Amino acid sequence: MGILRMFLVFLKALFASQAALAAENIALRQQLLVLQRSVKRTRLRIRDRVFWCWLSRLWSGWRPALLIVRPETVVGWHRLGFRLYWRWKCRKKPGRPKVDCEIRDLIRRMCRENPTGGPPRIQSELALLGHEVAESTVDKYMVRQPRPPSQNWRTFLKNHIGQIAAVDFFAVPTITFRVLYVFVVLLYDRRRVVHFNITTNPTAR
């Protein structure tokens, strides 16, 4: 009924004179001011908010005519409706669709039967069977074979320190502005120098 009444008022305004419209506008604004002083908080329904959002997009002079709420409130309604619309439009879950359990079980089975086969090989086998699966998906569902624990760097040095040698090659300027090139080889276990050489003209030999 409210929308029909507004439509009838709109049709009446089309055929009314300019003076009659101005007088009616003044009367309506005076009544709105009285209601605004007497009512603490105005409650608007959803259709009222939709009406003002619609009117704000079609009529550039809607701000001075708005008295019951602030224009910023109508702009907020419009933004909220825009967010709700896109939330409804994007209600589907993002990302790739899930892989079927049959394909996942097949990937794990191929991993167990071919421990040395990597993701590219399993992907090729799946393609021959008619399953188009990305290599990253194959790698995600592969069975990880347990690996023996490897020794850390400290253990490696402790076990092989007698066979490790350090090599260094550096330059030393002298007081007479000459440059000496020094080559040093020493063992780690005792910090013992096993070879060194000094020259002014270094060569590969």
Q: What is the DSSP string of 52-75?
A: HHHHHHH-TTHHHH--SS-HHHHH
Contact between residue 106 and residue 131 where contact means Cβ atoms under 8 Å apart: yes
pTM: 0.32
Task: Name the residue among 107, 145, 142 with its Cα closest to residue 127.
Answer: 107
Res. 103: pLDDT tops 70: yes
Please write the tens of the pLDDT for every residue from 176-195: 888 999 999 998 888 888 89
Per-residue model confidence as pLDDT tens digits over 115-142: 777 888 888 888 888 888 888 888 888 8
pLDDT at 7 exceeding the cut of 60: no
Structure token digits, residue 169 = 């090659």
| CA dist 190 → 155, 156, 166, 167, 169 (Å) | 18, 17, 12, 15, 20
pLDDT single digits (tens) 36-82:
666 666 677 777 777 777 777 777 777 776 766 777 888 888 888 88
Q: Please give the average per-residue pLDDT across 144-155, as a whole number.
A: 76
